[in-house]
A and B are shown apart, each in its own frame.
Chain A
Amino acid sequence: ETGVTQSPTHLIKTRGQQVTLRCSSQSGHNTVSWYQQALGQGPQFIFQYYREEENGRGNFPPRFSGLQFPNYSSELNVNALELDDSALYLCASSLGGTVATGRQYFGPGTRLTVT
């Protein structure tokens, strides 16, 4: 148990639609990162939020956006869904620090299928 939960577990959407995925972190975890894991691939970094502000982004277009809330929950929003957006979406939270001194806790993921 990592204390990180994600909802929903599975989701099916149609191309062109919009989707919101949710993550609930452990209390006090002020940093959350989102990753996209396509089938047969390793996770790819989408972006990170620290104290409710985006402070790092990977090679993903602006239609991928996020929010982090004071209650340690966060959202990943994807507009204008494309077939290639089908993947497992993982969130990971951490209690400050850096990648060397701290530790990320991953949630179980949301499986998104775009048809």
Chain B
Amino acid sequence: AQSVTQLGSHVSVSEGALVLLRCNYSSSVPPYLFWYVQYPNQGLQLLLKYTSAATLVKGINDFEAEFKKSETSFHLTKPSAHMSDAAEYFCAVSDFGGGSNYKLTFGKGTLLTVNP
């Protein structure tokens, strides 16, 4: 079974600082990987996804992530944090089992706090 580990349940940065949220995956096959953001009282919004094309994936709101097979990592970065980035972020991996095309396995999430 595939799994995802998000290192750090809470990350705090200053406005304008680099954002780095860590995600490591476990998979026996080349995975598809995702980052989602969840604002309070809202559903999940897709930031970006890796589907075995370019290893550096650019998403919305200047977020990007790099797939590193040797490190089994898919860390999310943003050069300069904005107050509006404060939210919970989830890394997810696709699961090809069970005949489901859209089954995702999520990490436990990282809460990002941005300080003024």
Q: Number of A residues contacting the other chain (C-beta, 8 Å)?
A: 32
Nearest residue in A to B46 (C-beta to C-beta)? A103
Q: List A residues 91-106 near B (Cβ within 8 Å).
A: 92, 94, 97-104, 106
Inter-subunit contact B102/A57 (CB<8 Å): no
Q: List B residues 65-116 near A (Cβ within 8 Å).
A: 90, 92, 94-95, 98-109
Interface status of B41 (Cβ within 8 A of chain A): yes
Q: Give complex CA distance A42, B46 in Å.
A: 14
Q: Give complex CA distance A92, B45 in Å.
A: 11
Nearest residue in B to A32 (C-beta to C-beta)? B102
Write out the residue numbers on chain B whose beta carbons fall within 8 Å of the beta carbon of A107: 43
The one of A4, A40, A90, A104 in contact with B102, judged by C-beta atoms closer than 8 angstroms, is: A104
Inter-subunit contact A42/B109 (CB<8 Å): yes
Which residues of B are interface residues toward A (Cβ below 8 A)? 4, 32, 36, 41-46, 49, 51-52, 90, 92, 94-95, 98-109
